[in-house]
Amino acid sequence: MTVSPTSSNRSLVDVHNLHVSFDTQDVLRDVTLRVRRGETVAIIGESGCGKTVLLKSIIGLIRPTSGSVHFDGNDLASLNDRELTQQRARFGYVFQNAALFDSLTVGQNVAFPLRQHRGYSPARVRDLVLTRLAMVGLPDSVVSQKPAELSGGMRKRVGLARALIMNPELILYDEPTTGLDPIMSDVINELMLRTKSENENDVTSIIVTHDMRTAHKVADRIIMVFPLSRLEPDEPQLIFDGAPEKLDHCADRRVSQFINGEAGERLTELQQASSARGL
């Protein structure tokens, strides 16, 4: 995969020396990251390393303890609520479990951002909803169904349709293939690729995933985050940043253990941590 020549030098997201703490627990430390327009970046790393916190920080759902996050040149922490809402209308967010409203129909779920941010007529809204549902391979008949009536893969696709309804410049995916079988996981991968290739704008995507097949297939660039609790104070938290084809040849043992699913010394560390807590 390649980033389009027109977008390769323009930064859309700039994270600079980002530090995020909750009470006394540090989650992210001194993270610096630049995402170019039109680029697809996959963020990998074990559970609890701060991937989703980083994703939420990028769209201003979590404010930095220190450091900054700029979107298209705007420091998100400096914006008031109205300005931040305006910027978020430029994002699409695909949640890990789709996060659909159970009490609303599929059509109402997909239309929700339009009703919040646009004054379109009901006919225009319905046309846009049907177009987006068709784009993710869902028939018109699902419009009146409730999320509980759908399979996990269908709910994921509804969530993607909702994320696309506003023609976002930046799409963020939080574990888009979690809980899906291999075939449906690849359907989601293909939809992510199609979303980028069929959009006339330079769509930028950031994907948090444990699925190495997704990372290799969809991403232009892969970043690996490592848990602070297992790092020395002077060690960087981003332990890999490069093209997918370079990941398999990375000399860092921590990277190779993760991508190959090898426990390594991790089991010993977990046992020692349990002993220290008296478990």
pLDDT 10s digits, 67-97: 999 999 999 999 998 898 888 888 999 988 7
Would residue 184 count as lying in a domain? no
Residue 22 structural domain = 12-90+204-279
Report yes or no on 118 lying in a domain: no
Number of domains forming the structure of the chain: 1
Q: Within 10 Å of residue 80's Cβ, how many Cβ atoms?
A: 8
In a domain, 96, yes or no: no
The mean pLDDT value for 59-71 works out to 93
Say what the pLDDT of residue 123 is.
Answer: 93
Q: How far apart are CA 211 and CA 201, in angstroms?
A: 27
How confident is residue 262, by pLDDT bands cut at 50, 70 and 90?
confident
Domain CATH for 236? 3.40.50.300
Instruction: Evaluate whether residue 128 is within a structural domain.
Output: no
